[in-house]
Amino acid sequence: MKVLCVAEKPSIAKSVAQLLSNGGLRTVATRNKYIKNYCFDQLLNGQQCQIVMTALLGHLMESDFPAEYRNWKAVPPMGLFDATVIKSVREDLKTIEDNLKKEARYAQMLIIWTDCDREGENIGAEAAEVCKSANPRIQVKRARFSVIQRRELQQAWNSLGELDMRQAAAVDARAELDLRIGAVFTRFQTLTLRGMFPELGENKILSYGSCQFPTLGFVVDRYMKVQRFVPEDFWKIDVSIEKDGSTAKFDWGRTHLFDQHFTLVLYEKCMDNPTATVASVNTKPKSKWAPLPLTTVEFQKAGSRILRISSDRIMSIAERLYQQGIISYPRTETDVFADSFQLHPLIEAQVNDPRWGQYAQGLLGGRFRRPRKGKNDDQAHPPIHPVKAALDLTGDDQRVYEFITRRFLACCSDAAKGNETVVVVHIAGEQFTAKGLSILERNYLEVYPYDKWAEHSIPNFYQGEQIMPSELTMTSGRTSGPDLLTEADLIGLMEKSGIGTDATIHEHIKKILDREYANKENQFFCPTVLGMALISAYDEMDLELSLSKPYLRSLMEANMKRICEGTRSRYDVVQESLEMYRGAFARASQQSRRLKEVVGRYLRGGDRNHTIPQIPPTRPPSSPSDGAPYTVPRPTAGSRRTAGRQPDSSTTSQGRSRGRGSRGSRGSTRARGATRRQAGTSSSDTRADYTRNRSSDTSDPKPKCDCNLYAARRTSRKNNENQGRDFFTCTKAGAKCRFFAWADEWSANNTNGR
């Protein structure tokens, strides 16, 4: 019997043929320079067979409209929703089609060896269609495998199954929708804008994709949050207690307050009675769990965050390592190793690696723990893991392999273990907390340096103990806004919103960069002017279903899964999605004028309220918006304080707050050596002095906001003509009113009333 085997890529065909034939094969050239036919003999179900193993170059076919629809100006975009779609062999792959037909004519069986995922099932169905056109009687079988190793390939050879035509249909549905929706909106955007804005370029194609635009929308949304963020000053009380030669720093139970005066009142109470009473000391076991087995999405996120390699490149490297038989199939949603999965042979393969061989030996010697089970299992592939040792890799290939291997060994390890001590003290009714950590067993952390768990020792305290703080400080800081999105952030948002699949997320991210809708600088994504303009235009249109938000694409992806499960048909899913996008397009095309207006505002600066996107600082500047660091007046002689000596001068050093709601300080008033007593003016005098310093100066009047509070003076930091200009806004930290006034305009209008 003659059997034709078809792999998805030439490298896979060669590897499978070599392993199944034990190296006894004959290579035959074809008309395509990349494709070889590998011929050998092999037993199948006890019968000696002549095998021909050949390959494809990915998808053999493509979907497109008939020629009469390819003239953009002759066919209204709306017509593409209903135009005929033809799926046919690509012109540049006709030589591969000819090779398949030639070999299929004399074969009794076709075995599909494409990748075992949705795309692989569709590619296999394409190959089967071509082969059946040459030999309708050929029997089609499917080989399923996750690792290119002799044992697993032999197992796949001995347990052939059937093609999953439901998965193939889901890919066809997605391809048809992507073609129709992409063509309709791409033509609409391009024809509407290109002639009106020559600065876009004569041949510029303004591409739209139902995955591409929600991905860009995430980037724009975060950019706008960064731009709109207004930092707020806050104040807090810090306590340090020195004992037995070490110091514990205590955090305030209130974290921080946005009311400077109230914080000062509480601080003065603490200064008047600074003795700290230990309210509780609790020590309990603490564990840091070993990581879960590795999925594709987590692999891409970690690669971007830890290795600083883009998701597109890291998937390319992983694909190469897989084809070389070094790692398992890198496209998987599974974070569970089946109970029957043999892990020990994979660990044994690592014992000779000088980097982690000793650790692997320890796992085999009794430290092995069955990996934790996640919540996802695609029933197709195991989590990503190393298949064999690889000591000769270099560059990024080596770094990616090292991460995968360390992750695998870590997930086969016990959690790190330690003891956490939490000490709570009370000072003048205020609560402060310090935490210490002692690590008893590092376990998985020994082989997985990407996780951090730092030991932090504090002195021994006892409940009921009274002790004087070595430092009691009121400090100020400033909230900081969100950062721009990193690639790991963007991947996480896409996964959470159901945009793309584990195998395509990296492609959509690359696409918004290639289309010049976004830039990536220092690991952060920022929209370009054009990207901002397009997203803003759709956001300003009166659309029932947003074209820049994830809902429509998320629903489409969910329906693809339902096709795979057999609960929905390809036809129903396609028609439902087209109906929603048809309605959205009808409303968008009616508002094409809005598209032109918004794009014009951005490209030509026609609106002072719309700034041109630039990579902004990832955090706001550290200095206060009114330019004055916070200081508390020094006490004068006669003070009744029981706290220790004050510093010789008020502290005015400035730092920066590291994160929204951060406790980082930029100024402080501190009392050191709180066990000492010092004479001086009363604390009420200090508060009175402070109030006079802040409010008695009428040379800088302020308006009252809609809350009937004196407004806060801020400085604009946006990169436009108002940069550096002062303005007034509501002083509240939470639900602000909408009051706003430019300081110079308000002063000019109120000069006569001063």
Q: Active-site positions?
A: 329
Residues 6+ away with beta carbon under 8 Å from 59: 90, 119, 122, 123, 126
User: Contacts for 72-75 with beta carbons within 8 Å, 24 or more apart?
Assistant: 72/187, 72/190, 72/191, 73/191
**CA-to-CA dists, residue 2 to 37, 41, 159, 278, angstroms:** 14, 9, 18, 84
Segments of 336-463 assigned E as strands: 416-427, 430-441
Q: Which secondary-structure segment (H or E) carries 553?
A: helix 551-565
Cα–Cα dist 187/150, whole Å:
50
The first and second tokens of residue 241, run together, are 């207690």
The residue to which tokens 């003016």 are assigned: 681
- Beta strands 109-113 and 139-142 are parallel
* Rounded Cα gap, residues 545 and 581, in angstroms: 8
Helix/strand/coil for 455: coil
Q: Which residue has the tokens 């197709």?
A: 380
3 state SS of 315: helix
Q: How far apart are CA 499 and CA 558, in angstroms?
A: 10
Residue count (the chain):
754
Q: Looking up tokens 């010049």, which residue turns up? A: 516
Q: Measure the CA angle with vertex 486, ends 482 and 489; round to 5°.
A: 80
Report which residue type is found at 513: L
Amino acid letter, 210: S
**Torsions phi, psi of 419, nearest 5?**
-120, 135
* Secondary structure class of 63 (helix, strand, coil): strand
